[in-house]
Amino acid sequence: MFEPEEIRKDFPILQRKIGGKEIVYLDSGATSQKPKQVIEAISKYYETNNANVHRGAHTLGDESTQLLEEARETIAKWIGGKSEEVIFVRNTTEAINLVAYGWGLDNLKKDDVILTTEMEHHSNIVPWQEVARRTGAKVEMVKVTSEGLLDQDNYKDKLKLKPKLVAMVQVSNALGTINPIVEMTKQAHKIGALVLVDGAQAVPHMKVDVQKIGCDWYAFSGHKMLGPMGIGVLWGKKEILNKMSPFLTGGGMISEVYVDHSTWTELPEKFEAGTPNVAGAVGLVSAIEYLDRLGIENVREHDKWLTVYGLQLIAGVEGVEILGPRDAELRSGSISFTYTGVHAHDVATVLDSQGVMVRSGYHCTMPLHNKLGVVASVRVSFNVYTTKNDIDRLVEALLEVKKIFGK
């Protein structure tokens, strides 16, 4: 295990004081803070290597290209894929859209079923609704139980509809639920469906191996795992990516361009039109190195420990109702709750006045909140720099809510 109090020292933003108080940042699920190593790696790239890739037949262009390709290799190794299967995108949302438009439009037709779940982030719902609208396919959703788990009986029933695709989240951003993704992927493959996993909230907190999961595509964002904003990854199986159409077209992804038609280059560039975010890729490598130094198993242990501690303390506050499973083994990274009689936005405002930063609303999971009959909730989410003291400060601040609203 590592000492989060020590880790905090690597994060310049956490040294800031607001209203004379140390920042308690409990919104890492939205975006994580960045260690100085990541910030320095990005600065160093711009100070020493910056040039466009491939195009310049000069030293800086070569260095920049090499850094991008090394980043691809590091990421591939980290998730258990091949480097040509790693496609750089801006974020998870873009990765899912790439599959929706690059695979969905060509492979789905009227009455085909796309199976997703009630606990998805809007990023794994709306692109499928759009593809369904254009192809005549239908979107079905696996139900969530009142405990905040995916209803496995309902999943089996939905698989009887023979979906062409199962698109599901590994770790719910709203409930923290860890889904049994390996088993669910196996079941989907048995009926011939392809599987896309939204790993946005999994990669920051646990070891992810796409081979072990067995999925066909895996999507994640760099900015939630200590990396910079603007860089994300779509991993896909080579044979599937090879058959897909490009999502974005233009420079950098073509083989030949004629007046009346064009041909595409090989993977991975086929999916990377335009100038890539090399600095972002370099920053993401630095984030992976940082997590590797801590040990991803230790990151998971730290996260589990915080979840146990947080669940116990937060649930003890009068008026608070925790959403999602109570067993820390089944959850990761975040705890969402409601406060009886006080709107989540009001709770968040009071917490902010105490230097405690949380997310309030429906966290881009409106169908899930509707299903749970909750208008909005408060979410506290962790990362490697989150300490026991952060949770204690949260609980103290929650008592302020009681004082102010008298609830």
Kindly report the number of other CB atoms within 10 A of residue 196's CB atom. Answer: 30
Active site residue 364: yes
Give the separation between CA 190 and CA 142, rounded to whole angstroms.
17
The dihedral formed by the CA atoms of 309, 315, 318 and 320, expressed in degrees to the nearest 10: 130
Q: Are 353 and 203 contacting, i.e. CB atoms less than 8 angstroms apart?
A: no
Pick 122 or 304: Cβ nearer ligand PLP: 122
Stretch that binds ligand PLP, among 107-115, 196-204, 244-252, 394-402 (CB under 6 A): 196-204
* Shortest distance (Å) from residue 123 CB to ligand PLP: 4
**234: nearest Cα among 202, 266, 277, 197:** 197
* Shortest distance (Å) from residue 81 CB to ligand PLP: 19
Per CB under 6 A, 200 contacts ligand PLP = yes
Pick 123 or 387: Cβ nearer ligand PLP: 123
Q: Which of 137, 364, 398, 401 is catalytic?
A: 364
Q: Are 332 and 340 contacting, i.e. CB atoms less than 8 angstroms apart?
A: no
Q: How far is CA 246 from CA 100, 106, 233, 284, in A?
A: 11, 11, 15, 24
Kindly report the number of other CB atoms within 10 A of residue 375's CB atom. Answer: 12
Per CB under 6 A, 221 contacts ligand PLP = yes
Site string for ligand PLP, 114-153 (x = CB under 6 A): -------x-x------------------------------
The helix or strand, by DSSP H or E, that contains position 367, with its residue range, turns out to be helix 366-372
91-110: contacts with ligand PLP (CB under 6 A): 91-93
Pick 65 or 91: Cβ nearer ligand PLP: 91
Measured in residues, the chain has a length of: 407
Give the separation between CA 287 and CA 55, rounded to whole angstroms.
27
24-83: contacts with ligand PLP (CB under 6 A): 30
Pick 207 or 388: Cβ nearer ligand PLP: 207
Pick 300 or 388: Cβ nearer ligand PLP: 300
Q: Summarize as ranges the residues that interact with ligand PLP (CB under 6 A).
A: 30, 91-93, 121, 123, 169, 173, 198, 200-201, 221
* Residues taking part in catalysis: 364
